[in-house]
Structure 1
Amino acid sequence: MRVLVTGHHGYIGSVLTPLLKEAGHDVVGLDTDFFASCLLGSEVDEVPSVEVDIRDVTPAHCEGFDAVLHLAALSNDPLGNLSPQITYDINQHASVRLAAAAKAAGVRRFLFSSSCSLYGAGGDAPVTEDAGFYPVTPYGESKVLAEQEISKLADADFVPTYLRNATAYGVSPRLRGDIVVNNLVAHAVTTGKVLLQSDGTPWRPLVHCEDIARAFVALLEADEDLIRDRAYNVGLTSENYRIREVAELVGAAVEGSVVSFAEGASSDKRDYRVDCERIKNEIPGFQPRWTVPTGIAQLVAAYREHGLTAEEFAGVKYQRIARIRELLDSGLLGPDLRPAS
């Protein structure tokens, strides 16, 4: 298929595009390129691309494609809290307009990168895709609203599908340091401390960024009638962990490191486990390859290979909110997160 990937220069997009090419698809990217230079190392697999804000996409940008894989967003809760209204503008309203533009251009498939954050305060029992939504952040709520509005566009000729990704981790050419496993491993490797920002009790479903990318490829190639207007929790049911358990796994993997708590560490309202049996049972092409222990080992090796320091990890290359603030402070972005004129 000819595929348009929004956010292809992001954390997951940089892993997804090579897998799509490997599977034989013709790939074009679309991105604002806020994070294009935020590389771990220098090797990255590039594809033809167009630089445009997702808020400005028209049907003309979507013409000639068989599918749109929509990853572009203000990603994660701290960045969403920086400007809740812009989070809704980009993650909700622009996503719905993109879906409508794709439909108007004759695109059949629309794969939306949603999030298990929409379950929010889900509690101890693993939740299925039929569970209620309890988002506790603008980021989580924006994903709920986008799914609900995109669903209204579904028909015989337009097939939206919603990938409710568990919390991502793992090595990517454009590494994110603001997600829990990547963050804990980096602190352990660079400081000797596995630094917990919460009390460690909340549950989190976890999935490697490469396995999220594999889910996109598998759903892109799945039967349309099966996946039309259907949501999938992306991950493995066995890969739900309490944050303290992750910290202990990191401590065991990084010799000499000690689990500790950041000053002011407290409870976290985001607390949920997810059931991933639907994608396992319905999409046999999705074959996850990673677990948290193997992902931790991969991260430890990569951080050491690249000589990562604590100062570098805390800086603009790996912390998305720090990168956005750098662009704002330099005048390259206006307060609406558009390029300054």
Structure 2
Amino acid sequence: MKVLVTGHLGYIGSVLTPKLLSRGHEVVGLDSALFEGCYFLPGAADITSLGGDVREFVKDPEAADKLRGIDAVIHLAALSNDPLGDYRPGLTQEINAQGSIDLARLAKEAGITRFAFASSCSNYGASGDDFINETGDLNPVTAYGVSKVEAEVGIGALADETFSPTFLRASTAYGLSPLLRTDLVVNNLTAWACTTGEVHLMSDGSPWRPIVHVEDIAAAYIAIIEADRQDVHKEVFNIGTTNENYQIREIAELVRDVVPGSKIGFSENASPDVRNYRVDCNYLARKLHGFKPQWTCRRGIEQLYDAYRSVGFTFEQFDGPRFKRIAHMKQRIEQGSLNEDLFPMRQLEGV
């Protein structure tokens, strides 16, 4: 197939794109390169780009023509976590919700039949300690979660016999990627332990989180776009495995066990986190037999520990803006390479 991956230069996209290419798919990208230069490993695959910011692409009079001939869209591009989402909630709605709906509408107009949308288990928000599946109530408690719910509703309304959207509610991602993020809980706690000897908890460790390795997320997208239409048409899938739900303190204990000499510590302001959800992922396993998750939390921590140690990862690197999305974005705004609406200044100046 010919596949458009939006956000191909991001944490998930830089893992997914090479996997698609290795399976013989033709891949084109769309990415605003907000995190250009934030590489931990050698860069993402070199593919043809159709443009940059989704907000601009959907306003391009030639956008539908640029999309013709594409068989499937994997739409990852978004402000990708709660701190980014909370930076300016209106901007989050504009990019994550309206931009996604507009792109789906264009894709349908261009004759694209498959649209895989990167939603999130954050949609469940504060759902308590019981397992919740895809039919459970949505209770987003952040601007990021709200935007993903809005996008699901708007994109779902476009579904018909010619256009098949699928919604992937991913568990909290972790694991090694060329565009590493250390603002994800497993990556973060492992980095703390490797660089300081302390597994540093910012909450009391009680909330539940489902987690999934970035390579397993990529595998889920591939399984979905390669699946028969009737198996994925307007379906919602929790992405992960049911036995990979952990309380944050359990993740901290695994990190402590993997990183020699480390110990668990708490921030002075550690408190309960209102985000608390425990997710049932069995529907995906029953529906798509081509999806076989390979990773566990412990294996992922071991992978990260080996990678951090091999490059001599320091606390200054970990705690700086390079691998933390909100910090990097704010740094670019302060330096003048982005404006507050996250458009490149050189673009605004016509350079």
TM-score (norm 2): 0.96
Distance between the aligned counterparts of 2:142 and 2:254, measured in 1?
Answer: 28
User: Is the 1:91–1:146 contact (alpha carbons within 8 Å) kept by the matching residues of 2?
Assistant: yes
The alignment status of 1:228 with 2:233, answered yes or no, reads yes
Residue 296 of structure 1 is matched in structure 2 by: 301
Q: CA deviation at 1:263?
A: 2.1
Unmatched segments (≥5 aa) in structure 2: 58-62
Residue 14 of structure 1 is matched in structure 2 by: 14
Distance between the aligned counterparts of 1:230 and 1:163, measured in 2?
Answer: 9
Secondary structure of 1:273's counterpart equals strand
Opposite residue 5 of structure 1, the aligned amino acid is V
Distance between the aligned counterparts of 1:190 and 1:80, measured in 2?
Answer: 28
Q: CA deviation at 1:137?
A: 0.2
Q: CA deviation at 1:43?
A: 4.8
Residue 133 of structure 1 is matched in structure 2 by: 138
Opposite residue 38 of structure 2, the aligned amino acid is C
Distance between the aligned counterparts of 1:312 and 1:41, measured in 2?
Answer: 14
Residue 80 of structure 2 is matched in structure 1 by: 75
Following TM superposition, the consecutive aligned residue runs of length 4 or more in structure 1 with deviations greater than 3 angstroms are none
The alignment status of 1:40 with 2:45, answered yes or no, reads no
Distance between the aligned counterparts of 2:182 and 2:81, measured in 1?
Answer: 11
Residue 220 of structure 2 is matched in structure 1 by: 215
Alignment identity in percent? 52
User: Is the 1:33–1:51 contact (alpha carbons within 8 Å) kept by the matching residues of 2?
Assistant: no
Distance between the aligned counterparts of 2:154 and 2:169, measured in 1?
Answer: 16
Secondary structure of 1:122's counterpart equals strand
Distance between the aligned counterparts of 1:124 and 1:48, measured in 2?
Answer: 45
Q: CA deviation at 1:61?
A: 3.3
Distance between the aligned counterparts of 1:44 and 1:98, measured in 2?
Answer: 23
Residue 52 of structure 1 is matched in structure 2 by: 52
Alignment of 1:149-164 (within 5 A): 149-164=154-169
Select which of 205, 209, 222 maps to 1:200. 205
The alignment status of 1:96 with 2:101, answered yes or no, reads yes
Q: CA deviation at 1:49?
A: 1.9
Residue 323 of structure 1 is matched in structure 2 by: 328
Distance between the aligned counterparts of 1:180 and 1:225, measured in 2?
Answer: 35
Select which of 64, 69, 72 maps to 1:64. 69
User: Is the 2:41–2:177 contact (alpha carbons within 8 Å) kept by the matching residues of 1?
Assistant: no
Select which of 265, 274, 279 maps to 2:270. 265
Alpha-carbon distance change, 43 to 143 in structure 1, aligned in 2, over 3 angstroms: closer
Residue 308 of structure 1 is matched in structure 2 by: 313
Secondary structure of 1:123's counterpart equals strand
Select which of 241, 250, 255 maps to 1:250. 255
Secondary structure of 1:81's counterpart equals helix
Distance between the aligned counterparts of 2:322 and 2:26, measured in 1?
Answer: 29
Residue 338 of structure 1 is matched in structure 2 by: 343
Distance between the aligned counterparts of 2:312 and 2:29, measured in 1?
Answer: 30
Secondary structure of 1:238's counterpart equals helix
Q: Which string of whole-angstrom CA distances, capped at 9 and with x for unpartnered residues, describes residues 6-34 of structure 1?
A: 00000000000011011110001110011
Q: Which string of whole-angstrom CA distances, capped at 9 and with x for unpartnered residues, describes residues 55-104 of structure 1?
A: 12232332220011000000010111111110100000000000001001
Unmatched segments (≥5 aa) in structure 1: none
Q: Which string of whole-angstrom CA distances, capped at 9 and with x for unpartnered residues, describes residues 121-177 of structure 1?
A: 011111010001000000001000100110000000100000000000000000011
User: Is the 1:120–1:140 contact (alpha carbons within 8 Å) kept by the matching residues of 2?
Assistant: yes
Distance between the aligned counterparts of 1:41 and 1:22, measured in 2?
Answer: 19
Distance between the aligned counterparts of 1:61 and 1:184, measured in 2?
Answer: 42
Residue 27 of structure 1 is matched in structure 2 by: 27
User: Is the 1:118–1:133 contact (alpha carbons within 8 Å) kept by the matching residues of 2?
Assistant: yes
User: Is the 2:174–2:187 contact (alpha carbons within 8 Å) kept by the matching residues of 1?
Assistant: yes
Q: CA RMSD in A?
A: 0.9
